[in-house]
Chains A and B, each alone.
Chain A
């Protein structure tokens, strides 16, 4: 009811003002010739058109109410949309049944509308970021693969001087708890005489614990612990001797035993890899 009342109120001054200035410069000549007739006919026609088209207004179809039927005469059987296409006019009529318009010349709510759209775009940007991350990170290693990549070892049961072998990534890893003598022996070596010169301090984080990968650097056999001439390991395949720090001393192997990445979680826990 309010909408229809607003329509009645706004249609009269709106139509007369629309007739006063033609908003289509291309059709200026045609509209100027039409405007005297329109301005004369508008006051008489608007209540007239209302009453004749009130049933259509009630039904809510806007095409009949907005069509220029009273000018064309409604002789042909054309639907209102086709008639509108065939008779272009600069007198644009908007359907105000559902939405009221601002009067012409009113500063629009453009900024407010744009900021509402910006709010939506915040959400879209966040969504795009989430989707990209999900799809790209889905290609990284899954948790079970990562779980196999590292190994936790409990060190509390290893006696000083003994060696423990654990399996990590398919390879044996020697963990030796060294006594003070072993550490002294490891440090008293002339570095320059080694085939692969490395200080003992470089190879261990905590001198008490030696962690090396138990694969001979010659051709990949597994050295035997507590064997060999240097108190460390002896590879039975070709006779490579490794010392207490896992360095090669005698035999065909070129490099020292590899030191993997490891860290101490607690006082008694070792995380390899």
Chain B
């Protein structure tokens, strides 16, 4: 990886993205906020899936039949 980056300083995914995003601070801040939003969604989804995988069959929705009677008040 070192030698690859050493050989081409013009190319590289990081370099290209750097040139696009980190020119202006306003663009960078927007990128950080968008990334935080998407990252939070991704982490929530991942942790939710992990939790449910670890707790199979224990959710309220997993109870097969709840009956037709009205819930008591």
Contacts and interface: CB of A to CB of B under 8 A. Distances in A.
A122 B39 contact: yes
Interface residues of A, number: 20
A147 interface: no
Interface in A65-90: none
A133 to B, nearest CB: 12
A129 interface: yes
A109 B5 contact: yes
Nearest to A120: B32
A26 interface: no
B15 interface: yes
Contact of A121 (B15, B32, B70): B32
A123 interface: yes
A263 interface: no
Contacts of A109: 5
B9 A107 contact: yes
Given A122-B35, A125-B33, A126-B40, A107 B18 contact: no
B27 interface: no
Given A111-B14, A111-B17, A154 B36 contact: no
Shortest Cβ-Cβ A-B pairs, 4 listed: A107-B9, A125-B36, A111-B14, A111-B18
A128 to B, nearest CB: 9
A120 to B, nearest CB: 10
B36 A126 contact: yes
18 contacts: A102-B2, A109-B5, A111-B15, A118-B31, A118-B32, A121-B36, A122-B35, A122-B36, A123-B36, A125-B32, A125-B33, A125-B36, A126-B39, A126-B40, A129-B36, A152-B73, A154-B73, A266-B70
Interface of B: 2, 5-6, 9, 12, 14-15, 17-18, 22, 28, 31-33, 35-37, 39-40, 70, 73
Contact of A122 (B9, B14, B32): B32
A114 B22 CA distance: 9
A111 B39 contact: no
Contacts of A124: 36
A110 interface: yes
Contacts of B22: 114
Nearest to B12: A111
A107 B6 CA distance: 6
A115 interface: yes
Given A122-B35, A122-B39, A123-B39, 14 more contacts: A107-B6, A107-B9, A111-B17, A111-B18, A112-B14, A114-B18, A115-B18, A118-B31, A118-B35, A124-B36, A125-B32, A125-B33, A129-B36, A266-B70
A144 interface: no
A106 interface: yes
B53 to A, nearest CB: 24
Contacts of B18: 110-111, 114-115
A142 B61 CA distance: 28
Nearest to A128: B36
Contacts of B6: 102, 106-107
A129 B40 CA distance: 11
